[in-house]
Amino acid sequence: MKKMIYLDNAATTRTAPEVVEAMLPYFTEYYGNASSIYEFGAKSKEAITKARETIANALGARDNEIYFTAGGSEADNWAIKATAEAYRDKGNHIITSKIEHHAVLHTCQYLEKNGFEVTYLDVDEQGMVKLEQLKAAIRPTTILITIMLANNEIGTIEPVAEIGKIAKEHGILFHTDAVQAFGQVPINVDEMNIDMLSASGHKLNGPKGIGFLYIRKGVKIRSFIHGGAQERKRRAGTENVTGIVGMGKAVELALSTMEERAARERELRDYLMSRILKEVPFSRVNGPRENRLPNNASFCFQFIEGESLLIMLDMGGICGSSGSACTSGSLDPSHVLLAIGLPHEIAHGSLRLTLGADTTKEDIDVTVEAVKKIVAKLREMSPLYEDFMKKNAKK
Amino acid sequence: MYSEKVMDHFKNPRNMGEIENASGVGTVGNAKCGDIMRMFLDIDDNGIIQDVKFKTFGCGAAVATSSMATELVKGKTIQEALEVTNKAVMEALDGLPPVKVHCSLLAEEAIHAALWDYAEKNGIKIDGLEKPKSDISEEEEDEEY
Ligand SMILES: Cc1ncc(COP(=O)(O)O)c(C=O)c1O
């Protein structure tokens, strides 16, 4: 079999071997329930405490502010729904952006059906939230601002510190979905005035199905899963000890390698973006050049459709993703690409390539060559391209 | 997600390309929803489809249904071609995922649109053929990049 080139690290990542190794003893050796009295159970408890400390340190938080969840989606749901419920007396207005992950958007839409009002802020052509529009959207009834730290499709890093400052000045809670950003860019919850933050293990070489919600001390937030007294009675359920240990290890690794890894990925990514722009006609980069996740490259190729491109890349052993309608299960292309102002037909031709620590320059070269060939082949098939060429020939 | 037949037609599309001075050309779909199909027919004096070519902007299923549709109408009479329904195309491909059924409808419409163009050019009427709805809009094609 041909070597696989995995360029979909925003979808999920390979669990690092060190992470698996750290997890293994907690399956077969230290399998005790962390809530048990006996010494054996305490082993599990210790491991959870250690992971919690690692994560708290990574964010400049305290360990009693970290609550483990079953992933990023749960953390987003919890943060938004439970805040809405707890602060209902104060108001019913929530501010978010048009480019959030569906875990945030669909939760907000759900609340709208239950008497809440939600403002979905526009973004500029780079995907950046406009601070003036945010300020103007604030009402006396606003209880929550939830805006992602970095976008999963086009890599835009939002001005979270400024947003946090605005929220604080107005006495509004600020939640940020940091699922893509955590472990990629430095985050400090105090400096950025973040009250709640969601993250997920599988995006940073940790296991799937584990994540956490950071909740600043003093934030009134109800439990989301009712039951036992785990996670300071706020998130019931026997702890996912192996997952938590894996997540802790993954965070430790991600934080200790962040600077070096980001520099390397940024260089490879910039090389990828400049080659594509130079060598594939009628192509564009989505999202900003600066203020961008180091591993994210997002493109649109005019006259072609993203799913066809992905299948052909897959035939060459290359894994990528697209925001085309055909890959989303609906007829509309990605809400993010539409929000940055791309017309439908261009948004259909999108390709996202997200690098990882294992990505090599050779991988990028192979990928660029494949993209060039495939785009040319699909254009040869495309009636849109035919029309365009004929129109140009007439001019 | 796709059957082997769909993948085969996607990887090796049959009759892809265009026919110069075709007897009939039909384009259906629109770029907004992400699928456009164009069919070119070469029909001889006896009303037999001697050649057929297609061009498609769209997903794997859109390419495969266009390709299969061309195979199903090639060498057939106009009446036989009219009977090639989206169901026939889907069956020939061993099925499509539910979200992709609209692609097969587009393939059927593209053939009808090409036949309609042929009938108009020749001032004839084809029994059982209705004017296909083409939702291609000129403005959309003019979108500047
Ligand atoms: C920005 C963002 N938020 C939330 C999620 C959901 O995380 P999880 O898969 O851990 O539920 C993802 C992952 O797809 C994401 O990219």
Whether the per-residue pLDDT at A100 is higher than 70: the answer is yes
State the pLDDT at residue B137: 41
* Mean pLDDT, residues A225-246: 95
Tell me the DSSP string of A181-230. TBTTB---TTTTT-SEEEEEGGGTTS-TT-EEEEE-TT-----SB-SSST
> In whole angstroms, what is the distance from residue A347 CA to residue A344 CA?
5
Confidence of residue A1 (pLDDT cuts 50, 70, 90): low
State the pLDDT at residue B144: 39
CB B7 within 8 A of CB B92: no
Percentage of chain B modeled with pLDDT above 90? 76
Whether the per-residue pLDDT at B145 is higher than 50: the answer is no
> In whole angstroms, what is the distance from residue A156 CA to residue A273 CA?
15
Structure ipTM over 0.85, yes or no: yes
* Mean pLDDT, residues A96-112: 97
State the pLDDT at residue B143: 38
Mutation test of the interface with chain B: which of A285, A322, A348, A391, choosing the one with the most B Cβ atoms within 10 A? A348
Whether the per-residue pLDDT at A104 is higher than 80: the answer is yes
* Mean pLDDT, residues B6-11: 96
Per-residue buried b or exposed e for A14-26, using 16+ beta carbons within 10 Å of the residue's own CB: ebbeebeebbeeb
CB A202 within 8 A of CB A208: yes
Selected catalytic residue, list B81, B84, B92, B103? B103
User: Which residues, other chains included, contact A195 with Cβ-Cβ below 8 Å and sequence gap of 6+?
Assistant: A167, A173, A174, A175, A215, A216, A219
State the pLDDT at residue A330: 63
- Kindly tell me the number of DSSP H helices and DSSP E strands found in chain A: 14, 12
CA of A200, closest atom in ligand 1: 10
Residue A356's nearest CA partner among A3, A12, A1 is A12
> In whole angstroms, what is the distance from residue A227 CA to residue A4 CA?
44
B105 inside 8 A of chain A by CB: no
Residue B112's nearest CA partner among B18, B25, B46, B42 is B25
Which structure tokens are listed for A320? 């990528």
Q: Note the pLDDT tens digit of each residue in A307-316.
A: 999 999 999 9
Its sign, for the CA torsion A77, A80, A83, A88, is negative
Per-residue buried b or exposed e for A119-132, using 16+ beta carbons within 10 Å of the residue's own CB: bbbebeebbbbeee
State the pLDDT at residue B136: 47
* Mean pLDDT, residues A2-17: 94
CATH number of B4-128: 3.90.1010.10
Tell me how crowded residue B137 is: count the other CB atoms within 10 A of its CB: 11
Distance from the CA of A211 to the center of ligand 1, in angstroms?
10
B57 inside 8 A of chain A by CB: yes
B11 inside 8 A of chain A by CB: yes
What dihedral do alpha carbons A186, A188, A193, A198 form, nearest 10°?
A: 80
CA A294 to chain centre: 13
Instruction: Indicate the range of A241-250, A345-354, B123-132 predicted with least confidence.
Output: B123-132
| Mean pLDDT for chain A overall | 96
Confidence of residue A326 (pLDDT cuts 50, 70, 90): low
Confidence of residue B20 (pLDDT cuts 50, 70, 90): very high
**CB-ligand 1 contact for A287 (6 Å cutoff):** no
* Mean pLDDT, residues A356-377: 97
CA A274 to chain centre: 24
Residue nearest to atom 9 of ligand 1 (CA): A72
Beta strands at A173-177 and A196-200: parallel, antiparallel or unpaired? parallel
Task: Tell me the one-letter amino acid at A288.
Answer: P
Instruction: Indicate the range of A180-184, A325-329, A389-393, B5-9 predicted with least confidence.
Output: A325-329
Tell me how crowded residue A263 is: count the other CB atoms within 10 A of its CB: 11
CB A150 within 8 A of CB A179: no
Q: Which of A308, A333, A386 sits opposite B18 (nearest CB)?
A: A386
CA of A152, closest atom in ligand 1: 16
Which structure tokens are listed for B121? 């050019």
Between chains, do A315 and B143 touch, taking CB under 8 Å as contact? no
Whether the per-residue pLDDT at B138 is higher than 50: the answer is no
Q: Note the pLDDT tens digit of each residue in B51-105.
A: 999 999 999 999 999 999 999 999 999 999 999 999 999 999 999 998 888 888 9
| Mean pLDDT for chain B overall | 89
State the pLDDT at residue B103: 87
Chain A CB contacts of B143 below 8 Å: 343, 345-346
B59 is catalytic: no
Distance from the CA of A11 to the center of ligand 1, in angstroms?
8
Whether the per-residue pLDDT at A244 is higher than 80: the answer is yes
Q: Which of B11, B61, B145 sits opposite A346 (nearest CB)?
A: B145
Whether the per-residue pLDDT at A40 is higher than 90: the answer is yes
Question: Which of A9, A100, A200, A202 maximizes ligand 1 atoms within 8 Å of its Cβ, making it the mutation to test the pocket?
Answer: A200
> In whole angstroms, what is the distance from residue A4 CA to residue A116 CA?
46
Whether the per-residue pLDDT at B3 is higher than 60: the answer is yes
Distance from the CA of A275 to the center of ligand 1, in angstroms?
29
Residue nearest to atom 14 of ligand 1 (CA): A11
> In whole angstroms, what is the distance from residue A326 CA to residue B1 CA?
12
Chain A CB contacts of B61 below 8 Å: 326
Task: Tell me the one-letter amino acid at A352.
Answer: R
- Kindly tell me the number of DSSP H helices and DSSP E strands found in chain B: 6, 3
CB A60 within 8 A of CB A214: no
Whether the per-residue pLDDT at A151 is higher than 70: the answer is yes
